[in-house]
Structure 1
Amino acid sequence: MKKLISTLSFILFMGIVAVSAQCCGGTTTANTSSCTKTTCSENQKSAEVKAYYFHASRRCATCQAVEAVSKEAIKEYYGDKVTFKSINREEATNKSLVEQYKISGTALLIINGDEMVNLTNDAFLNARNNPDKLKSKLKSTIDSMM
């Protein structure tokens, strides 16, 4: 019985993740693994950490929560030391950033020079129901990049 409940819980969880990804435009970036560091050859190491939240024009409640929680946490912990930018990936003015980071869906990226951490999965799993966990993840990620 316990095995059946575990299996059903896992299936339900995967369904929720799939629906979240579907409502927000499918894949997040070319690198979709959670909290992975990637080298971006176009960037040089800088002293400024930036948080980019890529989204579409049409956004679900979770998409809006990811932006609100991330923006609030970054402002609370870092003030003006860390830049947070919300970017509509469908607007032509943002095309160069979308191409630079190979964005094809909603994405929350933390960037410092050539170092990039993708927090999209953590953001979508926690923004609405466990915002403190997302804030903590943002803080630990940004602290490690400073």
Structure 2
Amino acid sequence: MKKITIMLLATLLSTTTISACTGNNTPESKKETVAKQKAAVEIIYFHGKQRCKTCIAIEKETKALVEGELAKQVKAGKVKFHVVDFSTEEGKKIAAKYKVTFSSLFVVTPKGAEDLTRFAFANARSNAEGFRKELKDKVVKAIK
């Protein structure tokens, strides 16, 4: 009985030590969690080597919004805009994460990614003002 008690105690202590060493209960991991919760909203536009007029319009209108109406939020670190060419090696890795195989637009928050590709293709060229307004509304809402 003593051997079993000693073995259980040894197992318990080694498990606690391993947990402490991996940092699962350290203040740093809590800080990382808080940082992730306060992470910036990312707007990611994916494209390939060849792009149509609509693909180009999606990037152009998104960039105009980010550099214009969302410039204050970008400067404050609340919004980030990335253009990813998935025909490059680095771009392929990022595209794989979002399961992207063609031009796409995503708004990414700590809670997840929203695929706005259909919306973008339907509006970027034919309704640029409406496209920017809707995208801005989604980003501002995600910041809050």
Please give the TM-score of this superposition, normalised by the length of structure 2.
Answer: 0.67
Who is 1:74 aligned against? 66
1:137 aligns with 2:137: no
Q: How many pairs are equivalent?
A: 103
Who is 1:91 aligned against? 88
- Which amino acid is the alignment partner of residue 100 of structure 1? K
Deviation track 1:24-71 (CA, whole Å, cap 9, x = no partner) reads xxxxxxxxxxxxxxxxxxxx5442011100011100111100100011
Matches within 5 A, 1:10-89: 44-79=36-71, 80=74, 81-89=78-86
> Residue 144 of structure 1: SS of its match in structure 2?
helix
The percent of aligned pairs where both chains have the same amino acid is 28
| Runs of 4 or more above 3 Å deviation | none
Distance in 2 (alpha carbons) for counterparts of 1:45 and 1:98:
23
1:112 aligns with 2:109: yes
Distance in 1 (alpha carbons) for counterparts of 2:39 and 2:90:
25
Q: Which has the higher contact order (CA 8 A, sep 6+)?
A: 1
* Structure 1 pair 70–135 and aligned structure 2 pair: CA distance change class (3 A): same
Contact in 2 for aligned 1:51/1:110 (Cα 8 Å): yes
Greater percentage in helix: 2
Distance in 2 (alpha carbons) for counterparts of 1:102 and 1:65:
22
Structure 2: give runs of 5+ residues left out of the alignment: 1-35
Please give the TM-score of this superposition, normalised by the length of structure 1.
Answer: 0.66
Structure 1: give runs of 5+ residues left out of the alignment: 1-43
Give the root-mean-square deviation of aligned CA atoms: 1.3
Distance in 2 (alpha carbons) for counterparts of 1:50 and 1:59:
22
Deviation track 1:83-114 (CA, whole Å, cap 9, x = no partner) reads 11111111112222111111111110001123
- Which amino acid is the alignment partner of residue 57 of structure 2? A
The structure with the largest alpha-carbon Rg is: 2
